[in-house]
Amino acid sequence: MWIAQLSDPHVRPAGTLYQGVVDANAALAAAVAQLNALDPQPDLVLLTGDVAEAGTAADYAAARTILAPLRAPLRVIPGNHDEREAFRLAFRDHGYLPAAGPLHYADAASGPVRVIALDVTIPGLHHGEADAAALAWLEAALAEAPGRPTVVMLHQPPIECGVPYLDLYRCHGGAALAAVIARHPAVERVLCGHVHRTMLRRFGGTLLCTAPSTATAIALQPRGDARPASFLEPPGFLLHQWRPEGMLTHHVPLGRFPGPYPFA
């Protein structure tokens, strides 16, 4: 099973640049086209939050238009830039989303790998919180199929990544979340977005991966006095392949590059 992971497209209304700098809408459209050209096709596409930059109806209308050509089934979760109710309304045809409350869900129909989404966003704030209610929901969802390979996706990573201005906006409650994950060894990956970079770390006995943004890359600046900054580095997405012996994750740059050449 192939699972593609897009993240943080920060879609704006048609004709508006993200942060006045980058055509994030065109970048997401290019990602959709690149996914559609993969052979074999992904069995599932996950979009791990910050679908919209401002969470407006116009943002989501543009996002739905851009995502419409995607051939593979799509599963979405909100990020800190999304507005929960506008997000719910925009994706109201996605029957796996709950009608009220946080947008947690367990997708039992996703194939051999079950997808569990944990909505750790806090309306109006940029950090996340794995609170007691969210952890209880997750524990129950994982217990429903304890032997089935599973990925858990949430927007803000529940770890400190060593970049101070990113760590301010992590998902709080990471130790308690890791304890829940550790009780369920069928969890193959914890998949996050938010940081606009690819990062890997052991977490709760499994591997946590963050996906790059399709729009911009947040600067890797570990100094405590570093100021927030971003670059127009080559964007990308993650491609996870599940086999019975485990899950393998690839980073795929977005774009066209010279080749193919007849050597490996």
Model pLDDT for residues 21-65, shown as the tens digit of each residue: 999 999 999 999 999 999 999 999 999 999 999 999 999 999 999
- Taking the model in full, what pTM does it have? 0.96
The residue ranges of every structural domain in the chain are 2-253
CATH number of 2-253: 3.60.21.10
pLDDT score for 51: 98
pLDDT tier, 249 (very low <50, low <70, confident <90, very high otherwise)? very high
- Residue type present at position 68: A
The reported pLDDT for the residue numbered 18 is 97
What is the pLDDT, as a whole number, of residue 219? 95
Predicted local confidence at residue 78, as pLDDT = 98
pLDDT for 108 beyond 80: no
